[in-house]
Structure 1
Amino acid sequence: MASRIAYIPREEPPKRRPAKRGNYLAWLHSLPCVVTGRNDVQAAHVSFAAPWHGHYGRARGTKAPDRFALPVCASEHARQHNMSESAFWDSVGINPHELANTLFGIWSDYDEQEATSRATSRILSGLADAGRLPSRDLA
């Protein structure tokens, strides 16, 4: 007997935009850059859609929801804006929607001190796996 795969209709984007979360963006600024590990980051919003991860892109004239922002140093943030955004994230080997959801979940689940420690560990582990962990000798 052949099995059938149920058809699941495409999910529609939400009717209202999510609320801005200034305290989340402020917390992101305490984390290292997800690309280089440097400090002094900016909140880089991921603009391209990925409905599987709950991101429907951005409306005309608006930023993407804060939940889809990542801590990125100024030079990498500028590079992100100077090329195709999906090509930028592919070039650094990061799934930005997955990482953004992970960081937002950590921020939501723990108090600020523990969230900062866990998120920093996750970012540095990702950099180590990619062979981009900054050397302590350069500090």
Structure 2
Amino acid sequence: MARVNLAYFQRDPEPPKKRPAKRAGYLAWLHELPCCVTGRTGVQAAHLSYASPWHGHYGRAKGTKAPDRFALPLCPEEHTRQHSMNEEAYWRGVGIEPHLLALTLFGIFNDYDKFEATQRATSRIMSGLAAAGRYPTREDT
């Protein structure tokens, strides 16, 4: 019987040599979604800075942003907060697995036409807010 070297699977893979290509229209589409933390509209595309090799995100190269697929819709206040502190602690504090949510939204964008993608992504964001007890009221939006 062959033995599997488990140490091979436990080390982090090498980061890619080339940055992923930009996906036309993706960041503009993110601006149409509600904030994934507050549910408010008028969002910015907030790129995740910290690496998660498990999700295929190797962080940022010097002087570059993370790939667009690792961007999330955040209202300006939350985007400022995200970058004003330890980013991993920020996402833990708001109860969101950001890499997983970013990949989910990117998948929705790629799988559906714009109208249906917007509906599905908005529903996913709002259901996450409801599960976290942060579903916005009319005064919040």
The equivalent position to 1:104 in structure 2, one of 103, 106, 114, is 106
Aligned to 1:121: 123
Distance 2:87 2:62 in 1: 17
Distance 1:49 1:19 in 2: 18
Aligned to 1:21: 23
TM-score, scaled to structure 2: 0.91
Aligned to 1:69: 71
Distance 1:69 1:76 in 2: 13
Distance 1:27 1:138 in 2: 22
Task: Call closer, same or farther: CA 1:54–1:138 in 2, change over 3 Å.
Answer: closer
Cα offset, 1:21, TM superposition? 2.6
CA root-mean-square deviation? 1.6
Moved over 6 A (4+): none
The equivalent position to 1:41 in structure 2, one of 21, 38, 43, is 43
Cα offset, 1:10, TM superposition? 3.0
Aligned to 2:62: 60
Cα offset, 1:6, TM superposition? 3.2
Cα offset, 1:84, TM superposition? 0.5
- Per-residue deviation, residues 71-123 of structure 1 (Å, max 9, x unmatched): 00000000011100101101100010000000000001001000000000000
Distance 1:71 1:137 in 2: 20
- What SS is found at the alignment partner of 2:25? helix
Cα offset, 1:11, TM superposition? 1.4
Structure 2 unaligned residues grouped into runs of 5+:
none
Distance 2:139 2:90 in 1: 28
Aligned to 2:13: 11
Distance 1:137 1:83 in 2: 27
TM-score, scaled to structure 1: 0.93
Deviation larger for 113-122 or 7-16: 7-16
Aligned to 1:51: 53
Task: Call closer, same or farther: CA 1:94–1:78 in 2, change over 3 Å.
Answer: same
Matched, 1:136 2:138: yes
Cα offset, 1:135, TM superposition? 1.1
- Per-residue deviation, residues 28-59 of structure 1 (Å, max 9, x unmatched): 00000000000000000001000000100010
